[in-house]
Amino acid sequence: MNSPAKRGVVLIGRADALAGPVLRVPYPRERDELPAVMAGADLVVAVDDGGLPVVHSWVNTVGLRLGVPTLHVALRGSRATIGPLVIPGESPCYLCWRMRALACEQDFATAMALEENLVAHREAAEQPLLPALLPMVTDAMTDVRRLSSGVLTLDAVSGAEELHPVVPRPDCPACAKHRRPVGPQDFHQAVDRLCGVVRVLEVIPKDVDEPERPYIVRAELANSHFRTATNPFVSCSGKGWTLTEARDSALGEALERYAAMTWQPERKITSTYDGLDRPGLHPQQLVLFADHQYDELPFQPWRPETELEWVPAESLVTGEEVWIPLLATHLGYRPPVPLFPATSNGFAAGQGKAGATLRALLEVIERDAFMIAWSHQLPGRRVAAADVPEEQVRAIAATHARRGVELMVHLLPTDTAASVALAVAWSSRAPAAVIGVAAALDPVAAARAAVLEAAQVRPLLRSRLRFPAVRARMAELAASPSKVATLDDHDLLYADPSAAGLQFLRECPREPWPTKLADGNLQSLVRSVAEVAPDVLAVDVTPPDVAGVGVQVVRAVVPGFVPIWFGASQARLGGSRLLEMPARIGLRSRPARLDELNLVPHPLA
């Protein structure tokens, strides 16, 4: 924008779209005509009224190649879209905007067919516009710089205008190779109904007899992979004592999931484990399946000749680089050799790498402690939520108690410096039992997070139970828990008051809250984990677009720690920690055998 002016502003397309001193050029017949027209311009404005929409793609491509800023204006009857202002090397380009917008479309296949038809369109006949629209466009462009990271939509009938932030697509075929790093922005810039990474962020209404708090917010990711499935949008939810906290929680969950599905590693290799050129995580330390399980599973056992794709991870113990299987770090990856189902276990988002790493490691510890406690029926220390020394927890316990729901907290056994809490919301009616699990550096924070999660899941489960098909499935699962197949089946099973399997939690004695509170940080937590595991690994899986809105996403992996599993037949029984840990910390007299474990499907969803 600050280069010496040779030709000033060049307008390509509808000549009457802008007032003022501009060089007006009619629609080109072919893209090859544009370099001579655009070279040396301070700004090229492409204006299409439906007569030749492909002009935007042409101008965008040539502008990026020549280093000329371009602005894109689309006029449609009574509406206009102004932007983005494409500053080569600095801002998202026109194709970034179109890809984001298409990903937000409710029906991608139809929207894409229309887009392809428009791109192929070559007729430049002038289209009718509402007379009030062009003056609005001219007025809106008095502050054109604000369009460098967004598009402005105008409605000449209502007079409304709305600015929509556009986050650059790291896989954009037009501008990815031209772009320089963009500084961190507000992570709320990722949300927009028209072109956001997250297309929906909305409060979930509860039944009138549910407590108002915690608030629950749903975030819906745009269809970034352009899938044509019946429901291509991934939903996440967040909770909080305030609406702001709930919205931020939901948005963080959504960006975490988006990163886990779209991240592309800068380096990867294909090799057997023995062929690695530096230390690597042995695939068996990811806790696979026992030999007898493979006859009924759609997964393959690891063998020494198995070739996998590997990416670098950081050892939080030594600081060295360690190769780790890509299938352990990515939710959108389809490995040629599937060893286990992908889960979000150990992914976490934060506004800095250290915070994201701490949260990711705590989630690994949380799931490990829960699966061990469930498999050995270890209730831990059972405390009434009303006795937890935290104001919000006590308030949630009181509001639920008035509605006949009892909230209890179990501090689960673990051999790390973290505290792991399991919260259970008990009721005489469906949903009969709902749980939440959380880990933190002190037990009060863990209990608060677990209680908030249980209070988040319960109203959502009640909403599902309105549907006859869901209630029928609940009864079917209660009668035959071995039919649990999906994540949603797990909490549905224990929504039925007749479901068995939770007696060890319900019947254990109630105890007072412990007076000694733990404290620590990431370093002390890593040291404690390293005492019981061979390493502590972290992979930064932050895509450039997520980093651009100021968020980091990390996947933590602790070799040998027990991952969560979903489905009655998919217990991860290939490791030793599940059998040995309770005996090592004095909760059993000896390691367990596989046939002694509680393998009834757990209630966590």
pLDDT of residue 518: 65
pLDDT of residue 3: 43
Residue 20's pLDDT band, with cuts at 50, 70 and 90, is: confident
The pLDDT of residue 124 is above 70: no
Average pLDDT (348-369) is 97
Compute CA 507 distance to the chain's CA centroid, rounded to the nearest angstrom: 37
The three-class DSSP label of residue 153 is: strand
pLDDT of residue 15: 81
* Model pTM score: 0.93
- C-alpha span between 346 and 366 (Å, rounded): 9
Residue 2's pLDDT band, with cuts at 50, 70 and 90, is: very low
pLDDT of residue 21: 79
Contact criterion met (CB below 8 Å) for 442 and 519: yes
Average pLDDT, the chain: 93
The pLDDT of residue 443 is above 50: yes
pLDDT of residue 194: 96
Q: What is the pLDDT of residues 566-605, one digit of tens each?
A: 999 999 999 999 999 999 999 999 999 999 999 999 999 9
- The long-range contacts involving 173-180, CB below 8 angstroms and separated by at least 24 positions, are 173/95, 174/60, 174/61, 174/64, 174/93, 174/94, 174/95, 174/96, 175/64, 175/86, 175/88, 175/92, 175/93, 175/95, 175/96, 178/64, 178/88, 178/89, 178/93, 179/89, 179/90, 180/89, 180/90
Query: Percentage of residues in the chain with pLDDT exceeding 70?
Result: 96
Instruction: Burial-class residue 569 by CB neighbours within 10 Å (0-12, 13-18, 19+).
Output: middle
In this structure, of 38-42, 173-177, 434-438, 563-567, the range with the lowest mean pLDDT score is: 173-177
Average pLDDT (205-209) is 93
The pLDDT of residue 4 is above 50: no
Average pLDDT (472-488) is 96
- C-alpha span between 174 and 72 (Å, rounded): 15
pLDDT of residue 1: 40
Compute CA 475 distance to the chain's CA centroid, rounded to the nearest angstrom: 32
Question: Which structure tokens are listed for 393?
Answer: 């927890």
The pLDDT of residue 536 is above 60: yes
In this structure, of 87-91, 347-351, 495-499, 504-508, the range with the lowest mean pLDDT score is: 87-91
- Tokens 């790093």 correspond to 181
pLDDT of residue 552: 96
Q: What is the pLDDT of residues 221-232, one digit of tens each?
A: 999 999 887 789
- Tokens 């044509």 correspond to 228
Question: Which structure tokens are listed for 134?
Answer: 């062009």
| CATH of range 9-178; options 1.20.1340.10, 2.60.40.2140, 3.40.50.720, 3.50.50.60 | 3.40.50.720
Average pLDDT (296-317) is 96
